[in-house]
Amino acid sequence: MKYKILTAVMFLGVGCSTVFAQSKKEIAIKRMRDSLRLEGLSAYAIRYPQLRQGAVALDLIGNRNVKGELNGKDLYEGKMNIVRIRSNFSVPVYHWGRNSVSATLGYLQQRSQITEIKSFDPGFSNTDIDITKRTVSLTANFSRSDSIFNHQIFYSGGISGITDEASSVKRVNFIGLLTVPIKRTQNTSLSVGAVVILDPSAVTPFFMIVSYWHKYKESELELFIDVPSRLALRKQLSKRSWASVGTELGGSLQFFDLNEPALPRDNIFSYADLRTGGTFEYLVTKKLILGVNAGMFTTFSSRMFDRNDKPKDYFYKTSNGSAPFVSFSVSFLPFIKR
């Protein structure tokens, strides 16, 4: 009986050792896979900055001509310069199977200074204007990869709360995205998709997107065509540095509470702009990137309207010239497992 017990204990010990060894091996394999996934995502985030874990940027936009119109009549003209601080940070919250949930916090602070003002309205002063506005957004996003008729698709939905104060959320919107990869090779990728926006202040509730990337073997140049947001050429200069030239579409909104009897009180000032120029980025550490971007800055749409109205029902707008700009950025490649 003693020998049977001893034999059983010995076999149990061997079994536990085998299971423990297998567990260690499985853990090591899982860690390696996670590491490879992060490395692959980091390489992708270098090409597509919107996939980075976080970023902070300082924009310095030089003097340009600006002309304001109120209810279709000239209000003033002058010179305007802008200083912006932009930041965002994305955190993966939960992941199961082909599904994932993430949260993104965005912050924008903009200081606008208007000088050399010439007023066209007796009630509007020629005094210089200095306005600082802050906008905070928090987005919860759900993403899933799936397949239809043996073809891979990606879709996601996000709900955002936007405000300029801690006591309340002034704007809530929903964005849905569907993307279908069409072609993917070592040097070329193409995908198409659609975006749905549920937001009264959106210029359009629906638009198509196209994302095309191609790497030219001889020159090592990379072409990015992301309709409607970006057109760029990128060149790897060294293992840790790269440069690009192109045009990028951007924009945001600000909240204004006007104390004028003849005007709406709670308003939104939305704007869209184009940045055209060159960017240089350097990988300082494995996950930290420093960048500088310079060129010409153009605002092609800036309108103020009642918070419950659509942009086409604006009562105030500005016409803006182009100006040189320089931007300094610090960004982080994905470092939290997702």
CB 88 within 8 A of CB 104: yes
Place of tokens 């970023």: 55
pLDDT of residue 4: 44
pLDDT of residue 201: 72
The two structure tokens encoding residue 189: 């990728």
CB under 8 A, 24+ apart: contacts of 230-235: 234/47
Work out the burial of residue 114: count CB atoms within 10 Å of its CB; fewer than 13 is exposed, 13-18 middle, 19 or more buried. buried
How many other β-carbons are positioned within 10 Å of the β-carbon of residue 184?
11
pLDDT of residue 132: 96
CB 336 within 8 A of CB 102: no
Helix H, strand E, coil C: the string for 19-56 is HHHHHHHHHHHHHHHHHHHHHHHHHHHHHCHHHCCEEE
Work out the burial of residue 13: count CB atoms within 10 Å of its CB; fewer than 13 is exposed, 13-18 middle, 19 or more buried. exposed
Q: How far is CA 269 from CA 199, 247, 250, 310, 330, in A?
A: 14, 23, 15, 11, 28
Triad 222, 227, 228: Cα angle to 5°:
130
pLDDT of residue 142: 96
The two structure tokens encoding residue 204: 């359009």
pLDDT string in tens for the chain (338-residue length): 444 443 443 333 444 444 455 565 555 545 545 554 666 688 889 999 988 999 999 999 999 999 999 999 999 999 999 999 999 999 999 989 899 999 999 999 999 999 999 999 988 889 999 999 999 999 999 999 998 888 889 999 999 999 998 888 999 999 999 999 999 998 999 999 999 998 877 778 889 999 999 999 888 899 999 999 999 999 999 999 999 999 999 988 999 998 888 888 899 999 999 999 999 999 999 999 999 999 999 998 899 999 888 888 899 999 998 999 999 999 999 887 55
pLDDT of residue 306: 92
pLDDT of residue 24: 56
Q: Which amino acid is at 209?
A: I
What is the signed CA dihedral for 309, 310, 313, 316, rounded to 10 degrees? 90
The two structure tokens encoding residue 101: 């949930």
